[in-house]
Amino acid sequence: IDATDKIVFPASNPKHTITVFTDVDCGYCRKLHAEVSQLNDNGITVEYLAFPRGGPGTVGFDKMVWVWCADDPKRAMTQAKLGKSLTPKNCASPVAEQYQLGLTMPVKGTPTILLSNGELIGGYVPAAKLIERLNQDDG
């Protein structure tokens, strides 16, 4: 996946990067997104990939396309995860490709967190636990 196809919330002093397969309508994805600033403050960059659980042809899939095609995808991601309405906008988005990648990994649900060591964590992990886990990997 090309780095420019991800929606990235960078840490100002990055120590770790996690890649998260996400769905804007997933409650636990919204919970994790609410903790992104805490992760960023602790040196963890969060990269999002799209995994609309219903797949192509669903409203959830369309919403993910609208996020990726927005003028400001980071803002659109946050708005969508707050349950706010999005401006429908289409473009040559990577949503279908990222969804297919998720199916092959296999991503079974959202959020699915991919650590830099290749380990997949299925489901929501509170920011404090994620920070602790990543810092353990350092030692």
Q: Where residue 138 falls among pLDDT bands split at 50, 70, 90? A: low
Say what the pLDDT of residue 136 is: 85
Summarize pLDDT for 96-106 with one digit per residue, the tens.
999 999 999 98
Among 23, 25, 30, 69, the active-site one is 23
- pTM metric for this prediction: 0.94
| Residue 110, domain extent | 3-138
- Per the prediction, the chain carries an average pLDDT of 94
As a whole number of angstroms, the distance between CA 82 and CA 130 comes to: 22
91 is catalytic: no
Among 2, 25, 41, 53, the active-site one is 53
**Would you report the helix, strand and coil content of the chain in percent, each value rounded to 5?**
40, 15, 40
Q: Give the CATH number of the domain where residue 41 resides.
A: 3.40.30.10
75 is catalytic: no
Summarize pLDDT for 63-86 with one digit per residue, the tens.
999 999 999 999 999 999 999 999
**Number of domains the chain is built from:** 1
As a whole number of angstroms, the distance between CA 92 and CA 16 comes to: 29
Position 12 pLDDT exceeds 60: yes
23 is catalytic: yes
Question: Between these two residues, 138 and 26, which has the higher pLDDT value?
Answer: 26
Say what the pLDDT of residue 50 is: 98
Percent of the chain clearing pLDDT 70 (strictly above): 98
